[in-house]
Amino acid sequence: MRATPWATIPGFSITSEVPLHPVVEREQLSPNVVRLVVEAPRIAKVRRPGQFVIVRKGPGGERIPLTIADNDPEAGTITLMIQAIGASTTELTALQVGDAIQDVAGPLGRETDLIASGHAVCVGGGVGTAVLLPIVRALADKGVHVTSVIGGRSKDWVILEKELRACGDVVVCTDDGSYGRHGFVTQALKDLLEAGGVDAVYAIGPVPMMKAVSEMTLPYDVDTTVSLNAIMVDGTGMCGGCRVTVAGETKYACVDGPEFDAHSVNFQELADRLTTYRSFEQQALARQADQEAKGACATTEVQA
Amino acid sequence: MTEPASPVPAGEDGTEAPKAPLSNKERMQIDRVAMPEQAGDLRAHNFEEVNLGLSYQLAMLEAERCIQCPKPFCVDGCPVRVDIPRFIKSLREGDMAAAAESLLNDNALPCVTGRVCPQETQCEGVCIRAKKGNPVAIGYLERFVADWAQANLDQLPRHEPVLTGKRVGIVGSGPAGLTAAGELAHKGHDVTVFEAFHAPGGVLIYGIPEFRLPKDIVQAEVDRLVADGVKIEVDAIVGRTYTVPELREDFDALFLAVGAGLPVFMNVPGENYKGVYSANEYLTRVNLMGAWNPESETPVLHGQRVVVVGGGNVAMDAVRTARRLGAAEATIVYRRSFDELPARKEEVHHAKDEGVRFELLTAPEEVIGDENRWVTGLRCSKMELGEPDKSGRRRPIKIPGSEHVIDCDLVVVAIGTRANPLLTGSAPELQVNEYGYMIADEWGMTSMPGVFAGGDIVRGAATVILAMGDGKRSAQAIDSYLKGVWPPEGVDPRGGEKAVTAG
């Protein structure tokens, strides 16, 4: 009697007034980071720096929070930078121009609290650099002097250097010394703090990096903002999964953040909560690899 | 998926129905039928619907029990004022199409209410037959007729409303929003519903589990509304994607029905350990995101020993879900006693049958974790009941020295929800009370003219059917507002149109 067996599909499909979101541009930024420009006119119109979207690739897909790196209200597009970490993000990075994302919801979260003048140091690690870019651009637009400090494992993993250079100074650090300074971003940051005149620090990257930046700026008494990539489902405050402890109080990264005063954040708890689904993620990746292997075999058989 | 028991197409009856009408005395002698259900030990391990639905024979028998009161209390007991005697009369006359049309005319989501309404405190609670025995099983009959209607929509007359050209925006696609949408579309208005999630249904899809309300039932109800011309825009977060003032400019009237979405936590140490969920998150992962299915891309933690804190319907949904996800031990921890459990008695009974343990008069004090901050237990104290508090329920008081630890690897907190400030934050003109709930008059009109509100965002966490009552009432008020008749005439603020009687 029943029309469509929703329940047999994890996550439902439904009549929707909102068309799919086609990918109109794709660029491979590093071995595991991809830049996608997707159509999302409703969001492109109102998005502010620091805000994010929740993306669901298709029926059965996971809801993934992604920072909006840029928007073009006229073209009706937003730019997303995606790092392939788990199975779902790997699927998203595999999208090509002409493919489409089913759901893009947002813009979510609060906009970045930007300083109005002076000197800002913006520290980015890995895909965090992509999240940092809109903040750097917004600061530069206000006339703030920006020094971006970005890092990666080696030269191939350094992203968006050109874009950041258009907004101010850039210091590149690589773990292996294959490009720019040899060492971590925190060492470059320390030099800048020692030189003085830093009014604010914005740091976005892996939790250990943000924690290290926070510990480093504390003795210099420099306001430091971090963007927290907590696990979340809805992005509207409904699930409480993204709760983080800030200044001893429970906050929701999705609606109270995603940016917080670094010196008040309990990074240990955040790092810990981010490992909640580690075993599921490993299983999902293994399944994905397994399916790809099977797919390759099937193709071979057909060809044979 | 369980198929409903053999609904008989209209026109093929007659063989089953009694030849001559029964006398009331004969009707009073018929015992209430029992709802066929999956056995407790079986269903504790699957997500299929617990209640299987009445067979045609059982439904016809139960329908004979209604004595067709001239002044039916049951209709007054129903928040959407379904004309219960009327659909039951059509049913027992074997006219399924007439029964379905009558029911659908009064209730936009009868497949839903036939499954999740607390009939025992509403229509059935005031049924005259409840005074001397068991009330007519109105909920079972509603479900029977509604399921028949969903399977036989082509046999129902289609009403093409005269289009008014007026546009109404509805924020939230839960029970209040969908009810209002159906009601307004039937009155010829151009209705668009905005939903923040990727699928419509609100609590009907993210909250209430599959085994109590199958999601394809919800989808079919939504599909029916879409076929009636209702437009649904998903992934639209009002307060972020759009603001209320923006929508107010685009639409002739708005109905805000966003629910009370924020979870309440216990505020005890250890609550942020891994393995502590809000009921919202746990149920959303399992229901909306389909994590009950191992193929789902969305993970959910499967506890072996799960404690659910709270005693309401959401707590029962969570604890029964935990059993189905494989918990060997699933326990309700509630600080008052059995008599105060706010959940429907049927849910409590179902949970017990499924092997759920109840630790009553027990209040959590701390979540205990291991060195990796995974939950290992819940430290609780025993309580005793003292004098009644503001809510009229006896206040639980801690018994000194009664501390003990309940070993567990998953804690689900189901102690209520509160208003989400996301939408109201975008519209300072909207008046809210000290708890963030919207202030609305008896018709649901807020402090912004033409902007109505209903459901949990006005009344605080309540039931599906009360939200639907608000949706129906506000839809009728909105219709009147759009016609320039204010205050509305012929509308009962409790929901449902007042009967127009001559003389």
| Helix (H), strand (E), coil (C) string for B227-263 | HCCCEEECCCCECCCECHHHHHHHCCEEEECCCCCEE
Q: Which of B4, B222, B236 sits opposite A1 (nearest CB)?
A: B4
Contacts of B150 in chain A (CB under 8 A): 1-2
Residue B496 has pLDDT above 50, yes or no: no
The H or E element that residue A151 is part of is strand A145-152
Token pair 């963030």 is found at B436
Residue A107 has pLDDT above 90, yes or no: yes
- A262/A214 Cα distance (integer angstroms): 6
Give the A window 254-273 contacts with B, CB below 8 Å. 255, 269, 272-273
Binned at pLDDT 50, 70 and 90, residue A18 comes out as low
3-state percent helix, strand, coil for chain A, nearest multiple of 5: 35, 30, 35
Give the B window 188-207 contacts with A, CB below 8 Å. 192, 196-200, 205
Tell how strand A33-39 and strand A52-56 pair up. unpaired
Burial of A96 (0-12, 13-18, 19+ CB in 10 A): exposed
Contacts of A65 in chain B (CB under 8 A): none
The H or E element that residue B151 is part of is helix B138-151
Query: How many Å lie between the alpha carbon of B380 and the closest alpha carbon of chain A?
Result: 22
User: What's the pLDDT tens digit per position in B440-458?
Assistant: 999 999 999 999 999 999 9
B294 close contact with A: CB closer than 8 A: no
3-state percent helix, strand, coil for chain B, nearest multiple of 5: 35, 15, 50
- A91/A84 Cα distance (integer angstroms): 8
Contacts of B53 in chain A (CB under 8 A): none
Are A238 and B420 within 8 A, CB to CB?
yes
Percent of chain B with pLDDT over 90: 80
B373 → chain A, closest CA residue: A272
Residue B131 has pLDDT above 50, yes or no: yes
Q: Which of B47, B241, B285 sits opposite A233 (nearest CB)?
A: B285
Query: How many Å lie between the alpha carbon of B239 and the closest alpha carbon of chain A?
Result: 9
Listed residue (B117, B140, B150) closest to B56, CA to CA? B140
ipTM of the complex: 0.88
B214 close contact with A: CB closer than 8 A: yes
Report residue A228 as tokens: 């927290």
For residues B183-206, one letter each, b for 16 or more C-beta atoms within 10 angstroms of the residue's C-beta and e for the rest, the string is bbbbbbbbbbbbbbbbbbbbbbbb
Q: At what angle do helices B313-324 and B279-286 cross, to 10 degrees?
A: 50
- A176/A179 Cα distance (integer angstroms): 8
Which of A20, A54, A234 to mutate against chain B (most B CBs within 10 Å)?
A234
pLDDT of residue B494: 61
Considering chain B, what is the average pLDDT of its residues?
91
Binned at pLDDT 50, 70 and 90, residue A227 comes out as very high
Binned at pLDDT 50, 70 and 90, residue A8 comes out as very low
A87 → chain B, closest CA residue: B297
Q: Which of A9, A104, A236 sits opposite B422 (nearest CB)?
A: A236
Distance from the Cα of residue B207 to its chain's centroid? 9
pLDDT of residue A296: 53
Token pair 């250990």 is found at A208
Q: Which of B232, B235, B278 sits opposite A240 (nearest CB)?
A: B278
User: What's the pLDDT tens digit per position in B8-53?
Assistant: 444 444 445 556 789 988 999 999 999 999 998 889 988 999 999 9
Binned at pLDDT 50, 70 and 90, residue B87 comes out as very high
B385 close contact with A: CB closer than 8 A: no
Which of A89, A236, A252 to mutate against chain B (most B CBs within 10 Å)?
A236
Contacts of B205 in chain A (CB under 8 A): 12
Q: Which of B147, B280, B421 sits opposite A239 (nearest CB)?
A: B280
Q: Contact B332/B311 with Cβ under 8 angstroms?
A: yes
The amino acid sitting at A15 is T
Are B281 and A241 within 8 A, CB to CB?
yes
Token pair 């630890």 is found at B405
Residue B251 has pLDDT above 90, yes or no: yes
Contacts of A5 in chain B (CB under 8 A): 1, 216
Contacts of B291 in chain A (CB under 8 A): 10
Contacts of A239 in chain B (CB under 8 A): 263, 278, 280-281, 284
For the segment B430-437, the average pLDDT, to the nearest whole number, is 93
- B26/B112 Cα distance (integer angstroms): 32
pLDDT of residue A59: 85
Report residue A186 as tokens: 């925190």
Ranges of H-type helices in B356-495 = 421-424, 456-459, 464-482
A190 close contact with B: CB closer than 8 A: no
Contacts of B411 in chain A (CB under 8 A): none
Give the B window 80-99 contacts with A, CB below 8 Å. none
Binned at pLDDT 50, 70 and 90, residue A264 comes out as very high
Ranges of H-type helices in B152-297 = 175-186, 203-206, 215-227, 244-250, 279-286
Q: At what angle do helices B345-353 and B313-324 cross, to 10 degrees?
A: 20
- B48/B135 Cα distance (integer angstroms): 27
Give the B window 338-357 contacts with A, CB below 8 Å. none
Q: Is the dihedral of CA B447, B448, B450, B454 positive or negative?
A: negative
Q: Which of A12, A62, A284 sits opposite B219 (nearest CB)?
A: A12
- A44/B241 Cα distance (integer angstroms): 10
Binned at pLDDT 50, 70 and 90, residue B495 comes out as low
User: What's the pLDDT tens digit per position in B408-429?
Assistant: 999 999 999 999 999 988 888 9
pLDDT of residue A165: 94
Query: How many Å lie between the alpha carbon of B242 and the closest alpha carbon of chain A?
Result: 8
A1 close contact with B: CB closer than 8 A: yes
Residue A234 has pLDDT above 50, yes or no: yes
pLDDT of residue A295: 61
Of the listed ranges A131-135, B443-447, B457-461, B494-498, the least confidently predicted one is B494-498
